[in-house]
Structure 1
Amino acid sequence: MTWIFLAAGLVLAGLAVLGVAGARAAAAARTLTREVAAAKARLERGQPRLTPRKDETTAPGGVPSGLKTGTR
């Protein structure tokens, strides 16, 4: 009978450990979601500065003039 109580206690202890680990993972996922949303908002605000501009270095085909295509 003692073995049954010991086994049940070990099962409960294991479930408690898994519950704590699951709660920590859920909290980390919420934090990561907030950080990703904040980074996305910062990138969207700065998007006009990040888009490529048409200038003298871009050839009509869209390849910068310094790059040779089709050669090795």
Structure 2
Amino acid sequence: MWWLYLYVGLATAGILVLGALAVRLFAEVQRLARQVARSTDDLSRAADRLSRAAEPLAERAGDISRQ
């Protein structure tokens, strides 16, 4: 009969370990999502700055090609 208690104890320990790993995974996924969002914002700002910086160059290039 002791083997039944052993199996139940091992199964419970396994479920607890899986639960702890799931909590850690959830925390890491949230951290990764925040990092992706921050990187997306940075890229968006950089694209806006690049577009604003390229506008005068494009106008000058258009003026040169028309001459």
CA distance in 1, matches of 2:65, 2:47: 27
* Displacement over 4 Å in runs of 4+: none
TM-score, normalised relative to structure 2: 0.70
Confirm or deny that 1:7 pairs with 2:26: no
The equivalent of 1:45 in structure 2 is 56
Q: Which runs of 5+ in 2 are unaligned?
A: 1-11
* Alignment RMSD (CA, Å): 1.5
Report % sequence identity.
15
| Structure with the higher fraction of residues in helix conformation | 2
Kindly report which structure 2 residues correspond to 1:15-34, keeping only aligned pairs within 5 A, or say none. 15-34=26-45
Q: Which runs of 5+ in 1 are unaligned?
A: 56-72
Q: How many residues align?
A: 55
